[in-house]
Chains A and B, each alone.
Chain A
Amino acid sequence: ETGVTQSPTHLIKTRGQQVTLRCSSQSGHNTVSWYQQALGQGPQFIFQYYREEENGRGNFPPRFSGLQFPNYSSELNVNALELDDSALYLCASSFGTRPHEQYFGPGTRLTVT
C-alpha cells in the first residue's frame, strides 16, 4: 500500500509569484483535502476534492485553487503569493466525502520572500 506523497518538499518563492503543489493520494482513496499549517498552529482547511469536483472550501481567497485528476492525485495552486502564505501545506487523502480517517502526506514547506 502506497502512502500519501507530496512534491516538492521545500519551495522558496517571491511575493507576487504563483506556485503549484502536488499530491498523490493513498492507494484506494478517492478524496483529497488540502490544509495550510502556519508555524505553531494546527492545520487550517483549504478545500476538498472528491471525484474531481470541489466538495467544500474553507476561509481562503479565490487565489487558492485546486484540481483533482482521474487517478485522484491533486494540485494546489496559489496565485499572487503573499508573505503570509509561508506555511507547511498538507495534503490528506481519505475514502468518500466523510473523512472518518484522513491520512496526511509529509507536506510542502513554502517560504515566500
Chain B
Amino acid sequence: EDQVTQSPEALRLQEGESSSLNCSYTVSGLRGLFWYRQDPGKGPEFLFTLYSAGEEKEKERLKATLTKKESFLHITAPKPEDSATYLCAVLGSNDYKLSFGAGTTVTVRA
C-alpha cells in the first residue's frame, strides 16, 4: 500500500522567513507526485506534478523538488497569503488512486 508522510504537521513563519516542507513516500512504481494547497473548508488547489527524481518546478514563491524517496516544497520569503495546508499525494502503479499525506499547515505572520 502506498504511504505518504508529511512533516512537520504545523509550521509557523514570520513574513519573509523561508522554510521547507517535507513529503516522504513509499510507493510501488511512482507515476507522479503532486502538491496541493488547501484553504480551510475548501477543496485542494493543484500546484505541481513531479514525475522523476531530480525534477524541480516553481510557481511564485513556491518550489517543489523530488528525490527517489521524498519531495520538498520550499517557500521563499513567504507572505501571509501563503498561509494554508499543503498536501502531498502520490500516484503509484495502480494508476488511478491518489494517496495523500495528512498535510502541513503553514501560518505566516505579518
Given contact pairs A44-B100, A100-B32, A100-B49, A56 touches B94 in the complex (Cβ within 8 A): yes
Taken together as a complex, chains A and B put the C-alpha atoms of A104 and B31 apart, in Å, by 20
Q: Is the CB of B49 within 8 A of A104?
A: no
Query: Nearest residue in A to B91 (C-beta to C-beta)?
Result: A99
Q: Is the CB of A104 within 8 A of B43?
A: yes
| Chain B residues within 8 Å of A88, by CB | 41
Given contact pairs A97-B95, A99-B96, A99-B98, A43 touches B44 in the complex (Cβ within 8 A): yes
| Chain B residues within 8 Å of A6, by CB | 43
Q: Is the CB of B99 within 8 A of A45?
A: yes
A sample of 30 inter-chain contacts (CB < 8 A) reads A33-B96, A35-B98, A35-B100, A40-B102, A42-B87, A42-B100, A42-B101, A43-B44, A43-B87, A43-B89, A43-B98, A43-B100, A45-B99, A55-B96, A58-B97, A90-B44, A92-B43, A97-B95, A98-B95, A99-B96, A100-B49, A100-B91, A101-B34, A101-B46, A101-B49, A102-B34, A102-B46, A102-B98, A103-B46, A104-B46
Q: Using a CB–CB distance below 8 Å, which chain B residues touch chain A?
A: 4, 31-32, 34, 36, 41-46, 49, 87, 89, 91, 94-103
